[in-house]
Amino acid sequence: MVKVSIITPCYNAEKFIGKAIESVRAQTLTDWDHIIVDDGSTDNSAGIVASYTEIEPRLKLIRQSNNGMCITRNNGFKSCSEQSQYLLFFDADDCLEPQMLEVMITYLNTHLDVGAAYCDYYNIDAEDKPIDTVYCPRLIPSMFSVKTLPYNTPETPLVAIASGLGGGLDGRTVFRRSIYEQTSGWDENLGKNGAYIQDLLVQIALISSVHFVAEKLHQYRLHSINQLHRQGDFGKEAKNLINKWKDKKKLNSEQKKQVDQAIFFYEKRLVPLVAMMSANQLITERKILSALSLYFQAAKNYLV
């Protein structure tokens, strides 16, 4: 019986896709199927995956014209085993530690109220060498500002999800399938710069719990191609996500309250904090007028 389905979108990843596949094949938990959706690659990515299907019966290749990350993930989910209990959406240029699936599935098996669990990660470069990784703290409201959740605290409330949870989040989050199927899946209108994973975790958090597993089990690759691909207007993406969740027609009263709290925290606490930190940096650079403008904007966002 398949325990977990792994869905991998693949676009022009011929240099890395073999390593991604091998990291799945090396898992200590072996009850998986791996669906790779080639999203119209123009290199030899599909050929490399096809060569693996000849030796790995748990691997399946799907080919499609180029449609983007979210459509590709949704299509991959439609093709995974109907028996699987868990889902992992894993990128073609990243790698997993050998015990990743075993640790995460064991955690979910023993925490039945958790709909999604995500692990810690570290960065690797194009040659698989570990590089400096900055831990992204989980931010929650304090009385008048912001505070950080302790590293070993598993519970991750919706307000912390709204503040952002660090690199490669989609590729290191294991979803309980029965909860995932109650969401609308990957929103194909939210762009390519991370808003879609925040959106999906918000959906999960409104009907279940989201937990953090404090083990570095995911290797998030940083290289010139994926960094160019992931550049974009993050402020615009955040605004699009907030505008989506301000339309609360399908939410009950408790869910509306949680969403209102998360939006307030983001707009009235987190955004001013970031502006203040940027202004402080400008002061050190002697850019006084620019710093004063940011201080004023931060105060306005905080108070109005």
Helices 45-53, 17-25: inter-axial angle, 10-degree rounding: 30
Q: Which pLDDT score is estimated for 301?
A: 79
- Name the pLDDT band for 250 (thresholds 50, 70, 90): confident
Q: Report the mean per-residue pLDDT for the chain.
A: 90
For the entire predicted model, the pTM comes to 0.91
3-class secondary structure, 163: helix
Q: Which pLDDT score is estimated for 276?
A: 86
Length of the chain: 304
- Of the chain, the end-to-end C-alpha distance in Å amounts to 55
Query: pLDDT: is 205 or 273 the higher one?
Result: 205
Q: Tell me: the pLDDT tens digits for 164-203? A: 877 788 899 999 999 999 999 999 888 655 689 999 999 9
Q: How far apart are CA 91 and CA 6, in angstroms?
A: 10
Q: How far apart are CA 168 and CA 222, in angstroms?
A: 10
Mean pLDDT of 73-88: 96
Q: Tell how many helices (H) and how many strands (E) occur in the chain.
A: 12, 11
Q: How far apart are CA 176 and CA 108, in angstroms?
A: 8
Q: At 239, list the tokens.
A: 């605004």
Q: Which pLDDT score is estimated for 243?
A: 83
Q: Tell me: the pLDDT tens digits for 193-237? A: 568 999 999 999 999 999 999 999 999 999 765 544 444 455 677
Mean pLDDT of 74-94: 96
